[in-house]
Amino acid sequence: MKDRLSLFIMVDACGWEIVRNHPFLSSLAPHRRRLESVFGYSSTCVPSILSGRWPDEHRNWCYFVYNPPQSPFRHLRWLRWLPSAITSRRIFRRWLTKFVRVQLKFRGYFDLYNIPFKYIHLFDFTEKKSPLKPGGMNRGPNIFDLLESEKIPYFVTDPATPEEEHLRRLLADINSERIDFAFQYWAGLDGLLHMVGNDSPEIPRKLDHYNTWISTVMDAARQHYREVRLHVFSDHGMANCDHHLDLRSRIDALNLTMGVDYAVVYDSTMARFWFLKPGVRERIAAVLETVPDGRIMPESELRHYRTWFDDQAFGELIWLAREGVLIVPSHMGERPIRAMHGYHPTDPQSYATLFTSHNDVPDDVTHIPHIYKLMEREVQFHSAARSAP
């Protein structure tokens, strides 16, 4: 029997408001805490958790950025001649994404989403490496770099495999006593929330499902480890989208030319603009200021939430929708979905969660990047145990 297992399980989109009145993990991890997320999507949240740093430090923020000289997608531009009835279909984009990912040797999460092929040569993609691997951050180390340097045996989820396979592999490593540290990442709740929203009766059932899985993991771990320290957490919550906004048509009405006058990425809850000619910023900003469904994020606020980049690589102007508003059509999709995240970090449905089996979590663990402190503490314990006489 081994001494201790440090078990970290991330349940994607398990927001505070979703579990606040649900007995999720009440017996396995009774110590629960609301955490503030970071401003951005999972592309921001997951690297922040894994590195303990903020977006302006690790530079894993939004996926697509205007950068024609470095665009890896120039060879896809010929697809603009195909009918949109084909190229806008999700199944076509999904298969093309798989092909492009292999060809470009991307190792992180990658999706072409709904970027028009007419403009795809204007954009670069920021997650070419996997944050779930050593050396996987755009800037700086992550927890797996630390685990490798300290020679701590660990388990980490392979995103390419189904959740059931994640569970099977983790249980196999526990039963063989191969590991001292585990990072399990389950994304199924996030996908379900996008489809059905956070009021659906399917959500409590999914939480019960995860509760059963975690109980199975804990039962196995207690047979092979004298102590099991369980941490279950999320990256953000999920808000129901009750209002749809066609922001693109308002900008198109200015009769400016994309790629000549300006560039934009319409995310699901944000629009990020770059300005290529004088006077264009003022014209676009004037339109955005008339849209009551969101607002332009001021520099001071972007700095406060650590998403101001001096080189403005992720956008020169950021427009953010209010909670519950979905930008559709967008470069993320042509059709509405039931719920979305990526709103302001202090919107009610944005808050994340932390559940632990022990009550010694420091008071200053208040934001999702602070989860790294808990992982680092566990690594330090195992490192000290290895070097003890």
Q: Are residues 69 and 95 in the same domain?
A: yes
Last residue of a domain, one of 101, 125, 149: 125
In this predicted structure, what is the pLDDT of residue 235?
A: 98
Compute the half-sphere exposure of residue 75: CA atoms within 13 Å on the CB side of its CA.
6
Looking at the structure, tell me whether residues 40 and 150 fall in a common domain: yes
Here the CATH number for the domain that contains residue 303 is: 3.30.1360.180
* 260 plus 308 within the same structural domain: yes
Residue 40: inside a domain, yes or no?
Answer: yes
Per-residue pLDDT tens digits for 12-35: 999 999 999 999 999 999 999 999
Q: Which of 178, 147, 191, 162 is nearest to 338 (CA)?
A: 191
Number of domains in the chain: 3
Low-confidence ranges of the chain (pLDDT < 70): 389
CA distance 123 to 69: 9
Residue 380 lies in a domain: yes
Tell me what pLDDT residue 389 has: 67
166, 43: one domain: yes
For residue 149, give its domain range: 2-56+138-239+346-387
369 and 44 Cβ atoms separated by less than 8 Å: no
Domain edge (last residue) among 84, 102, 125: 125
Is 378 part of any domain?
yes
Strands 239-240 and 31-35: unpaired
Q: What are phi and psi of 271, to 5 degrees?
A: -125, 125
In a domain, 133, yes or no: no
299 lies in the same domain as 325 = yes
Same domain, 170 and 226: yes
Two tokens, residue 221: 């771990």
Q: Are residues 233 and 310 in the same domain?
A: no
Q: Cα angle at 366 between 365 and 368, to 5 degrees?
A: 90
pLDDT at position 353? 98
pTM of the model: 0.95
Residue 210: closest CA among 33, 25, 350, 42: 25
Residues 114 and 183 reside in one and the same domain: no
Which residues are 230's β-sheet partners? 7
Is the domain of 275 the same as that of 355?
A: no
Per-residue confidence (pLDDT) for residue 108, from 0 to 100 = 86
On whether both 328 and 249 belong to a single domain, the answer is: yes
Domain boundary among 296, 311, 336: 336
Q: Is 270 exposed, middle or buried (0-12, 13-18, 19+ CB in 10 A)?
A: buried
Q: Is residue 132 part of a domain?
A: no
Q: Are residues 288 and 181 in the same domain?
A: no
Tens of pLDDT along 223-233? Answer: 999 999 999 99
Beta-sheet pairing, 225-233 with 31-35: unpaired
pLDDT number for residue 366: 98
Give pLDDT tens digits for 197-240.
999 999 999 999 999 999 999 999 999 999 999 999 999 999 99
Q: Is residue 131 part of a domain?
A: no
Domain presence at residue 280: yes
Q: Are residues 176 and 207 in the same domain?
A: yes
User: Is position 375 within any domain?
Assistant: yes
CATH number of residue 25's parent domain: 3.40.720.10
CB atoms within 10 A of CB 131: 24
